[in-house]
Structure 1
Amino acid sequence: MTQSPPLTRRNLIGSAMGTGLLLVAGPGCAQDAEAEAFRRELTHDPDQPVLGNPEGDVTLVEFYDYQCPFCRKGHPALLDMVRTDGSIRLVMKDWPIFGEASVHGLRLGLGAVGLGQYEAAHDTLMQIEGRRIAPEVMDEAVRAAGVEPAAALASFAREEARWMGLVSRNDAQARAIGLQGTPAYLVGWTLMPGAYEIDVIRDVIAKERD
């Protein structure tokens, strides 16, 4: 395995392994201070809602899009793992790469933060089936989960600068580490671009704890 340049805002760090995982530059690399600062931005954005255990010993980041069928397919197993484990801090980073419907979804999800209903809205949006989800289908889904879509959209609008700032940072981070699509996961210094079986993610978390 050949070591690639360390992670910065400009270059992807790491080398492809047989599993497709990418190992980002950890402590001891030439630019470890810059890399650590950037990783902190990825994992601890102050505006980012967090699922799981906010004080967990491991942070699991997922870049996702509500229109991404692979994100939605893997989400139930991901949530089950997080809830069963009890010590994972789950950061779901909105990266709306599939158009305006994706933006509508994040407006509902992030808008629900102000209503105290983020988890309900997010989980419901991730349960919708199909490849192209119309905005009105998203509205009906969150309404069925007890989240009034008009209230969520109004809440988003009240804090639009905050939320669009967060989404803009997510986009810049995704591009900085060379992501090509969703889903993509980050655990510690291990970047996993693409869809992974939950056992692979669980193994990476276990290694991070070693």
Structure 2
Amino acid sequence: MFRLSTKLVPVAVAGTLMIAGPAGAQDAPAAMTRSDIEQIVREYLLENPEILVEVSRALTEKQQAEAQKDLFGSAEDAVLGNPDGSKTVVEFFDYNCGYCRQAYGEAQKAIAANPDLKIVLKEYPILGPDSEDAHIVAVALRRIAPGKYAEFHNNMYTTDGRATEEKAVEIATDLGVDEDELRAAMSEEETVQQLEKTQKLGRALQVNGTPTYFDENGPFGFDSLVSRTAPQEAQDG
């Protein structure tokens, strides 16, 4: 566990003594002002700038630890493959990403090769407003008709053309989703918040491109998806 440098301890103790004064003293010094304390802290940090590096590192480690919990533990995400599978892989994807389209085929191969594989899907639109609009439709559909999401996801990749709100709504309604209900869900705050939560998670994990995959050993690319998710006996062989 990361701990702040012990160099701060003497400063904190000295500051406490200067403010409080000796116990029982008749002529205690005047209390330090906020400005006095800020000046002491400023001077100390200028003399010991490495403290700021330690604090920054500690914050980054804390944020990444919190992100790891959301990475594998969110109940809001759609799943491909075996929902109860013991091998879990998380995919950050964008429907307008050409590599994601290729990776979808690799995911189908991986699922066919390993019936114990669970792929958690993270909507991560990074390729412009059209992508964001299309993924809002996807999140809304998942909220109101989760049973249709897998087919919707498939059709978004297998239908030609750029992913847009119009295209996503058309695919959803072709699957029997009520358009009025879908558009109402698209405008709800919970839908937007779910997408923003995933975007925040991706930034915390430094996901700068799609598709990006994670398993228990960290991030990897789609070119190693099949080999990395193969049943253990196949990997051992």
Q: TM-score, normalised by structure 1?
A: 0.70
- How much does 1:118 deviate? 1.3
Which residue in 2 is equivalent to 1:178? 206
Aligned length: 176
Which residue in 1 is equivalent to 2:155? 124
Offset from partner CA, 1:54-109 (integer Å, 9 cap, x none) = 11101111111111111112212212322442211111101111222112211222
For residues 174 and 49 of structure 1, what CA distance do their matches in structure 2 show?
A: 16
1:57 maps to 2:81: no
| Structure 1 residue ranges without an equivalent (≥5) | 1-6, 12-30
Cα pair 1:64 1:96 within 8 Å, conserved = yes
Query: Structure 2 vs 1, CA of residues 8 and 67 (structure 1 numbering), >3 Å: closer, same or farther?
Result: farther
- How much does 1:190 deviate? 2.4
For residues 39 and 164 of structure 1, what CA distance do their matches in structure 2 show?
A: 21
Query: Structure 2 vs 1, CA of residues 178 and 46 (structure 1 numbering), >3 Å: closer, same or farther?
Result: same
- How much does 1:201 deviate? 1.4
Query: Structure 2 vs 1, CA of residues 69 and 149 (structure 1 numbering), >3 Å: closer, same or farther?
Result: farther
CA RMSD of aligned residues (A): 2.9
Query: Structure 2 vs 1, CA of residues 136 and 167 (structure 1 numbering), >3 Å: closer, same or farther?
Result: closer
For residues 158 and 58 of structure 2, what CA distance do their matches in structure 1 show?
A: 35
Q: TM-score, normalised by structure 2?
A: 0.63
Which residue in 2 is equivalent to 1:17? none
After superposition, residues 137-148 of structure 1 pair within 5 angstroms as 137-148=167-178
Letter in 2 for 1:96: P
Of structures 1 and 2, the one scoring higher in RCO (CA 8 A, sep 6+) is 1
For residues 43 and 180 of structure 1, what CA distance do their matches in structure 2 show?
A: 19
Larger helix percent:
2
Greater radius of gyration (CA): 2
Offset from partner CA, 1:10-43 (integer Å, 9 cap, x none) = 36xxxxxxxxxxxxxxxxxxx8xx8665322101
